[in-house]
Amino acid sequence: MLEAMLSQHTSIESAGIDPVSFANPITQEVINNNNFQFVVEDPKGMDEVSLEGVDLVIAVSDPAYQYFKTHNETHIPLEYWTTATPPLLGEIPRNACVSAYQSIFEELNEQMKNSFRL
């Protein structure tokens, strides 16, 4: 979701340390419900993105933050944005899942506005 928001302002790559194999349809739904024109693609792993020319890495989970702290050989600035852990698909009723993802979207949007003064 953060990729969708930031892509409106800058070039961005999104990757995870242990990505799932498919794009989450709830993520796409929340992005669409918030009037962003963005297609969520299947998640990439850290080994699938280049850090060349990257100005900032934003970690949205503690494991990602810890991973990047130990693998940041190029000393790219790193920020950790505390974000709620989203529920797994099928873990809770669909409407509760959408609501949880919407809350996370709002958290990220607020953090983005505060950090980048948008």
Whole-number Å distance between alpha carbons of 65 and 88: 21
Domain containing residue 73: 2-116
What CATH number does the domain containing 67 carry? 3.40.50.2300
| Sole residue written with tokens 């959408």 | 98
pTM above 0.85, yes or no: yes
Long-range contacts of 76-79 (CB under 8 A, 24+ apart): 76/51, 79/115
Confidence check: pLDDT of 65 > 80: yes
Average pLDDT over residues 17-33: 92
Q: Per-residue DSSP letters for 31-47?
A: HHHTT---PPPPP-BGG
Domain tally, the chain:
1
pLDDT for 108 equals 95
Smallest CA-to-CA distance from 15 within 55, 59, 54 is with 59
Confidence check: pLDDT of 89 > 90: no
pLDDT digits (tens, 9 = 90+) for 36-63: 999 999 999 988 988 888 999 999 999 9
| Sole residue written with tokens 């505060």 | 114
Do residues 89 and 24 make contact, with C-beta atoms less than 8 angstroms apart? yes
